Amino acid sequence: MARYIFITGGVVSSLGKGLASAALGALLQARGYTVRLRKLDPYLNVDPGTMSPFEHGEVFVTDDGAETDLDLGHYERFTGVSARKTDSVSSGRIYSTVLEKERRGDYLGKTIQVIPHVTNEIKEFIDIGSDEVDFMLCEIGGTVGDIEALPFFEAIRQYSQDKRGQCVFMHLTLLPYIAAAGELKTKPTQHSVKELRSIGIAPDILMCRSEHPIPEKERAKLALFCNVRPESVIPALDLKSIYDAPLAYHREGMDRAVLEAFNITDAPEPDLTKWHDVMDRVNHPEGEVKIAIIGKYTQLGDAYKSIAEALTHGGMANKVKVKTQWIDSEIFETGEDVTPQLEGFNAILVPGGFGERGTEGMINAATYARTHNVPYFGICLGMQMAVTEAARNLAGIKDAGSEEFDSKSGEKSITPIVYHLKEWVEGNRTIQRSADDDKGGTMRLGAYNAVLKPGSRIAEIYGTETISERHRHRYEVDMSYRAALEAKGVDFAGISPDGKLPETIEIKDHPWYIGVQFHPELKSKPFEPHPLFASFVEAALKQSRFV
């Protein structure tokens, strides 16, 4: 029988609910339980696929091709459980399903209402696959009081009746510190809990984010005023590394409080070896590398969340600290020499992105990396720009470019080295697009296999010749330029199983120059760093010994 843990937030947003949920998942796993984590987002977009990275941060892609909230990335990184399409839903998706059903006549002429029709749809969603695991953790996005989130709160309130004894409510809040008074304030938390209780939800556990240790007196006060047990008020202090969360929250009694709320008294003690090892690597680095990430959405840290984490994991694999600098590629478009800006870095990473802005800067950075023997890692757009660079400067195709930046204006004349894929079939999956089809939902999404050439560097890094990685893109490097580029040392080392789509490129005569059409960062974990990131950081480390 599945047990449900509902995680809500109060006081302010951005308190790290996703991380707290992920850490709780990891702790339950460490005690031998199976878990799945789910995110319910109140916004009305059907999914985050069409949202700007500046609005919503990274779009996390699942193996089964869903474009989801970046919190699913945290869930995967902490639990190693691959997220699925059915682990992320928004109000928009729920309403659109209800309206589709209404149009089909599924409700047999009834008046459609938020309660019960919308709430039933939400409950059906929460229940999908819940019998496969010991604990289903559901995080509600936003903060209590948000209008859009009300149907979600009502649905989880109904659980407390429908599945009495099988659900626990955890509420994450903030205790602000008032320096003038030298005090942590509990009132916002009291109000937030009052708000929850007014819609019928009584939290069992309070997680309190705070910059300072919470004195016993405040803990007792919170327990009394919010109607929870004092040992269920869990301090969540700021952490130096997010990967310390499982250990830190365990010390504060988070998992114990949750198990007690379920009346589970015979749970095994957690085996936290793997988290101790991770933290040992974080706390005791034996060196440092400096990596420049040259991308389009560098002002917002969350836009490349998984890349930042995967680089940290690559550092853990090599026991070094990875210092990253996020640089907007547009600054390399002035025509001036890029050397002064880039010579201090041990490696360069160009991540994914959409649209023309900044791409010439990426190409200039790629030229620098290639000609200065600096390790280069191009991911998705970063691979497409690396190939464009090589086509222009090695294969002599001076006007090489991507159709992504050409089709709209039609003014520039380019040789499309990167083209808009119109039709492709793999197994039971088909991509078919019309000429101007570049709206959301038409991308090559999710996990696809690639075959790696024996003896290539990438095959050596993966230690295997067949891989599966996640994709999110519309454009493809054109295979008809393969011979011309390979003649110049740009090896198309990874190809789709049907032989039609390039998946990876590498330059042999270079310390480390690799481009991948997929997103390896999505599968990296602290306790299982992705081989490409581990190898890339290792190359940066070697490079650091020469500068």
Token pair of 343, please? 């010579």
Instruction: State yes or no: residue 363 binds ligand GLN (CB under 6 A).
Output: no
Instruction: State yes or no: residue 474 binds ligand GLN (CB under 6 A).
Output: yes
The number of beta carbons lying within 10 Å of the beta carbon of residue 226 is 22
Q: Which of 9, 10, 352, 531 binds ligand GLN (CB under 6 A)?
A: 352
Find the catalytic residue in 226, 309, 380, 510.
380
Q: Which of residues 64-123 bind ligand GLN (CB under 6 A)?
A: none
Distance CA 32, CA 272 (A): 11
Q: Which of 31, 56, 313, 473 binds ligand GLN (CB under 6 A)?
A: 473
In the complex with ligand GLN, the residue whose CB is nearer, 256 or 523, is: 523
Distance CA 477, CA 517 (A): 9
Find the catalytic residue in 313, 420, 510, 519.
519
In the complex with ligand GLN, the residue whose CB is nearer, 332 or 354, is: 354
Count CA atoms within 13 Å of residue 332 on its CB side.
25
Task: Find the shortest distance in angstroms from Cβ 495 to ligand GLN.
Answer: 17
Task: Find the shortest distance in angstroms from Cβ 362 to ligand GLN.
Answer: 11
Task: Find the shortest distance in angstroms from Cβ 476 to ligand GLN.
Answer: 7
H helices of 293-357, in order, are 305-318, 339-342
Instruction: State yes or no: residue 470 binds ligand GLN (CB under 6 A).
Output: no
Task: Find the shortest distance in angstroms from Cβ 519 to ligand GLN.
Answer: 7
In the complex with ligand GLN, the residue whose CB is nearer, 190 or 442, is: 442
Task: Find the shortest distance in angstroms from Cβ 335 to ligand GLN.
Answer: 24
Q: Is 389 left (phi over 0), alpha (psi -120 to 50) or beta?
A: alpha
In the complex with ligand GLN, the residue whose CB is nearer, 289 or 443, is: 443
Q: Which of 326, 345, 354, 481 binds ligand GLN (CB under 6 A)?
A: 354
Q: Which of 78, 475, 481, 492 binds ligand GLN (CB under 6 A)?
A: 475
Instruction: State yes or no: residue 313 binds ligand GLN (CB under 6 A).
Output: no
Task: Find the shortest distance in angstroms from Cβ 303 to ligand GLN.
Answer: 12
In the complex with ligand GLN, the residue whose CB is nearer, 205 or 380, is: 380
In the complex with ligand GLN, the residue whose CB is nearer, 157 or 305, is: 305
Task: Find the shortest distance in angstroms from Cβ 354 to ligand GLN.
Answer: 4
Q: Is the dihedral of CA 476, 294, 525, 27 positive or negative?
A: negative
Partners of 209 in beta bridges:
174, 236
Kindly indicate which of the ranges 50-58, 452-460, 470-478, 502-510 contains the residues binding ligand GLN, using the contact rule CB under 6 A: 470-478
Kindly indicate which of the ranges 85-93, 241-249, 347-355, 429-437 contains the residues binding ligand GLN, using the contact rule CB under 6 A: 347-355
Task: Find the shortest distance in angstroms from Cβ 400 to ligand GLN.
Answer: 16
In the complex with ligand GLN, the residue whose CB is nearer, 72 or 380, is: 380
In the complex with ligand GLN, the residue whose CB is nearer, 363 or 541, is: 363
In the complex with ligand GLN, the residue whose CB is nearer, 203 or 353, is: 353
Instruction: State yes or no: residue 472 binds ligand GLN (CB under 6 A).
Output: yes
Distance CA 62, CA 296 (A): 23
Kindly indicate which of the ranges 258-266, 342-350, 471-479, 525-533 contains the residues binding ligand GLN, using the contact rule CB under 6 A: 471-479
Q: Which of residues 175-234 bind ligand GLN (CB under 6 A)?
A: none
Q: What is the CA radius of gyration of the chain?
A: 25
The number of beta carbons lying within 10 Å of the beta carbon of residue 301 is 13
Torsion angle of alpha carbons 431, 400, 332, 342, nearest 10°?
90
Q: Closest Cα to residue 408, out of 356, 476, 467, 457?
A: 356
Q: Closest Cα to residue 451, out of 497, 490, 492?
A: 497
Sheet of strand 502-507, all strands in order from the earlier edge strand to the far edge: 321-328, 288-295, 347-350, 376-379, 513-516, 502-507, 490-495, 444-452, 466-473
Task: Find the shortest distance in angstroms from Cβ 149 to ligand GLN.
Answer: 30
Q: Which of 245, 292, 380, 417 binds ligand GLN (CB under 6 A)?
A: 380
Instruction: State yes or no: residue 404 binds ligand GLN (CB under 6 A).
Output: yes
In the bound state, the residue with its beta carbon closest to ligand GLN is 352
Instruction: State yes or no: residue 385 binds ligand GLN (CB under 6 A).
Output: no
Instruction: State yes or no: residue 353 binds ligand GLN (CB under 6 A).
Output: yes
Chain position carrying tokens 């008809």: 480
Q: Residue 480's Cα: distance from chain center in Å? A: 34
Distance CA 349, CA 327 (A): 10
State the number of binding residues for ligand GLN (CB under 6 A). 10
The DSSP call for residue 333 is G
Partners of 288 in beta bridges:
321
Sheet of strand 415-420, all strands in order from the earlier edge strand to the far edge: 400-402, 415-420, 475-477
Strands (E), 192-263: 205-210, 233-237
Q: What DSSP line would sit under 28-69, residue for residue?
A: HHHTT--EEEEEEE-SSSSSGGGS-HHHH-PPEE-TT--EE-
Kindly indicate which of the ranges 179-187, 352-360, 445-453, 454-462 contains the residues binding ligand GLN, using the contact rule CB under 6 A: 352-360
Task: Find the shortest distance in angstroms from Cβ 344 to ligand GLN.
Answer: 26
In the complex with ligand GLN, the residue whose CB is nearer, 392 or 473, is: 473
- 462 within 8 A of 531, measured Cβ to Cβ: yes
Q: Judge whether 521 counts as a catalytic residue.
A: yes
The number of beta carbons lying within 10 Å of the beta carbon of residue 418 is 27
Which residues fall within 8 angstroms of residue 393, CB to CB, at 6 or more apart? 367, 370
Find the catalytic residue in 67, 360, 521, 538.
521
Instruction: State yes or no: residue 381 binds ligand GLN (CB under 6 A).
Output: yes
The contact set with ligand GLN (CB under 6 A) reads 352-354, 380-381, 404, 472-475
Q: Which residues are catalytic?
A: 380, 519, 521
